[in-house]
Homo-oligomer: A and B are copies of this chain.
Amino acid sequence: MSRPTMETVAERAGVSRALVSLVMNNSSKVSEAKRQAVLHAAEQLGYRPNLHARNLAQARTKTLGMIINDIHNPFFAEVVYGVEAAADDYGFDVLILNGGRDAERERRAVETHLQFQVEALILVGPKLDNDDIVRASAVVPTVVVASGRDNPGADTITTDDERGAALAVQHLVQLGHTDIVHIDGAANISSRARSHGYEKAMRSLGLEPRTLRGGDDEADAEAAIVDLAETDSMPTAIFAFNDLVAAGALSTLEAAGLRVPDDVSVVGYDNTFIAELNHMSLTTVNQPRHQMGQLAIRTVLERIEDDRTEPTRIDLAPTLSVRRSTAPPRKA
C-alpha cells in the first residue's frame, strides 16, 4: 500500500531503474518509445519521485530556506513574492518558515532549514542577533533582507532609510511646510537611520528638526500626538516611523479635532497595504520590496553557483508614493 518507487515503475515499464531515472530528469538520451512507456507506467501508478532520496543521492537539494520575521506583516509578503519569482527562474524551491517575531523561534527555524540541507538561507527582517547570523553564514550562504544591521559574513539587501526620510522631508518642504515633526521608531532596527535622515535633511534645508519618541504601532503614535496637542506645539506636518504609526497619528489627530491634510499633513513609511486604502490614503516612502526579494536570490545564487565569497551589500533607493494625506499647509 505504500507509494510506488522507481523500482515499481521500472518493472511495470519493463526497463531498468536507471532508465526511469533518466526519464524523470528528462534526459535527451532516451528513446521515445521507452520514454513513453515509462511515463505511462508512472502515470498509472501515480508515481512521484521521492525528494529525500534524490537529495541524498545528489548531495544537493536545489532548495532555499527563507525565514520571515512575521507572517502577519504584509511588508514582508511582497518580498516573499520577489524571492519566489526569482527562485522559480533558477529552478529552486523555497521553503518558508515563520519567525513569529521571536529570536528563539528563528533560531530553531534556522536549525530546521539546515537539517533540510537548504543551499542558502534568506532571512527577511530577522530578529536574530549578529552571532546567530555569523554562525549560520558559516554553514551556508546567507542573505539578510530589510534589516539595516551590518551582518558580517552574510550578504545584505536594504533600502537607504536615510534617503527615504530625506524624500519625505523634501516633499513636505516643497509643499511649503517648515514645521515638521518626526515620530521615531524607538528601539526599532531601522529607526536610527530614518531619524538621522530626517534630521540631516531638515538641517540641510535650514530647518530645526524635532523628534519625538514613538514606536512601531498605533498606540505609540497616540502618546506623541497627545503630547503635541497638550503643549500646544502642533506642527503643520508629521513624518512617522512607519505606516502603522502614521495610521495612529491619523486617528489621534482626528480625535483631537484636527483634519488631515488640511490642518496637518502626515507621511508614513513602507507603503504597506494600509497606506493604499482609500480611506487612509497615506503619502509614504516606498521600498522596492519585490526587487529586494529578487536581488536576495541573485546574490545568494552568486555564492552557490559562482562561488563568490566576499560579502555583498546592496542598498536600494526608495521612492515616495504621494497620496492624499499631504497638502500645502494652511495659510497662517
Residues of A within 8 A of B (CB): 2-3, 46, 48-53, 55-56, 59, 61, 71-72, 74, 77-78, 80-81, 84, 93, 95-98, 100, 111-112, 114-117, 139, 218, 247-248, 250-252, 254, 273-274, 277-281
Contact = CB atoms under 8 A, between A and B. Distances in A.
B97 A96 contact: yes
Quick one: which of A72, A218, A281 has the most chain B CB within 10 A?
Answer: A72
A277 B278 contact: no
Contacts of A115: 48-51
Given A61-B52, A277-B274, A112 B97 contact: no
A111 B97 CA distance: 19
Given A52-B55, A56-B56, A95-B96, 14 more contacts: A2-B59, A46-B139, A48-B115, A51-B116, A71-B81, A74-B273, A80-B98, A96-B97, A96-B98, A251-B278, A251-B279, A274-B274, A274-B277, A279-B280
7 contacts: A50-B56, A52-B61, A72-B74, A93-B112, A247-B278, A247-B279, A274-B274
Contact of A72 (B78, B111, B116): B78
A6 to B, nearest CB: 13
Contacts of A51: 52, 115-117
Nearest to A46: B139
A254 B74 CA distance: 26
Nearest to A2: B59
Contact of A218 (B48, B93, B250, B277): B277
A218 B139 CA distance: 46
A100 B81 CA distance: 8
A7 to B, nearest CB: 14
Task: Give the top 7 A-B pairs by smallest Cβ distance, nearest first.
Answer: A251-B278, A96-B96, A251-B279, A52-B52, A72-B77, A51-B115, A52-B55
Contacts of A139: 3, 46, 48
Contacts of A247: 277-279
Contact of A95 (B53, B56, B80, B95): B95
